[in-house]
Amino acid sequence: MKTLSRLTLCAVLTLTSCSVAFSAGMSDVSGKALYQTGKKADYLAGYHGKALGADCAVCHPSQSVSDSEREIDANCQKCHGTYQQLGQKDKSNGKSISAHQGHLSISSCTTCHKGHEESFAYCNNCHIFNMPMKFGRAKVPYAPEDLSFYRNAIPNREETADIVIVGGGGAGMVAAIELQKAGKKVVLLEKMPILGGSSLLATGGMNVVGSKPQKDSGVKDDVDTFVKDSLHLGKGKNDQDLIRILGTNSNDAYEWFESLGGQLELQKGKTGGTTNPRQLYTKSGGIGRYMVEMIEPALVKSGADVRVNSKVVRLVHDKAGQVTGVIVKGKNSGLYQINAKAVILATGSYANNGALVAKYNPQFEGIITTAQPGSHGDGIALASEVGAQVNHLERVQIHPNAAAGTTIMITQAIRNNGGILVNRSGKRFVDDQAARNKLGPEIL
């Protein structure tokens, strides 16, 4: 009962303290005074109050703050301009590195800029840029959280939906679009402040069997070859039925992307482990960013209820074990429950959870990851808690190309187009086009 009481109290205190602060701010007395002196005077709210004489309403259109904080973003952009406009301004001012021209296309100001706490450059969760920020520090790590802490958590409210999708990467976004088309009431939940997940970081290409670019180039390919290649790479331990589904539906997936206005070209050479050229790519660089930039507007247009800064901490189930909803920890709204007819987990990997990497594959303990900051394996933990069967967790893939001492990945296309791997003596030591499960051990 102590745990229950503490969790419930936390949720209530979070909401109450916010309300008090905003109410005071609207009265134009204690709210402003709170950020005039001491450490809080160094935050953005203090600067707006002291230097500009602004009250809380300048940033906050109402006394409550949504978890996605889009209403605050809108007010930021009224004064400062959009993400794209700020990027152009940085370029005009001669900045070689601009946080407003990054490959993540962050459209939310509050992703980096915080009004009531230290700000931080989201880019530096992966990079090591010298990117000083006003009112901030360089990096705030997104650490994995033990979700068992919420096992007995009591939500402060409930709502309903047809489908809840957990994870706002490529898979979750596409699922939300299609389910909305099917007439379902969909809520998409993403714990990070931006959409895209690991998809945003994809820099290589999309393997497609029987695509128009393949046919136009005279490449003969088929699903059986796709399956054979995949089984060879997986040393026969992968699920052959799932591989066949992936290969069979790959061209439909690409044509779906084309229907959004996307267009990819065939990589001329064979990519690691493939019999035939089948990887499609974009000349703009960064296929993941390109695809997300096409998919996200379609998601918005679909009418799905999309919420970032919204972390699912528990799956709700009935006595029979049927999953009936989720418990969400909203950044500003606290703990709440969504009851649903179905829950889709699209949460991705655990590649940025060092403890799990070391647990399932000890040889990689302490290795630097190029994964996105939120890849903590939350979906695995959530599903396991309600009895889901979990397979192949020991199959950790190591990407062979990363800039030494950083978390920056260098795309495989470098090797496809003539790049070579050498050791510290400058000597080649491995087939540059070998599969990753051969290259990784050879490099180690």
Tokens 């309300």 found at: 19
| Parallel/antiparallel/unpaired status of strands 334-345 and 158-166 | parallel
Contacts of 68 (CB under 8 A, 6+ apart): 108, 306, 307, 308, 309, 310
The Cβ of residue 430 has, within 10 Å, a number of other Cβ atoms equal to 16
Tokens 């069997």 found at: 209
Name the DSSP letter for residue 276. Answer: S
The Cβ of residue 193 has, within 10 Å, a number of other Cβ atoms equal to 19
Long-range contacts of 300-303 (CB under 8 A, 24+ apart): 302/176, 302/177, 302/180, 302/181, 303/180
Name the DSSP letter for residue 384. Answer: H
Residues 222, 246: Cα–Cα separation, whole Å = 12
Please, what sign has the CA dihedral across residues 126, 368, 169, 275? positive
Check if the beta carbon of residue 367 is closer than 8 Å to that of residue 444: no
Enter the tokens of residue 337: 């429950």
436 catalytic? Reply is: yes
Enter the tokens of residue 381: 């933990």
Contacts of 120 (CB under 8 A, 6+ apart): 112, 114, 133, 136, 137, 138, 139, 140
249-265 in b/e burial notation, b at 16+ Cβ within 10 A? ebbeebeebeeeebebe
- The catalytic residues are 436
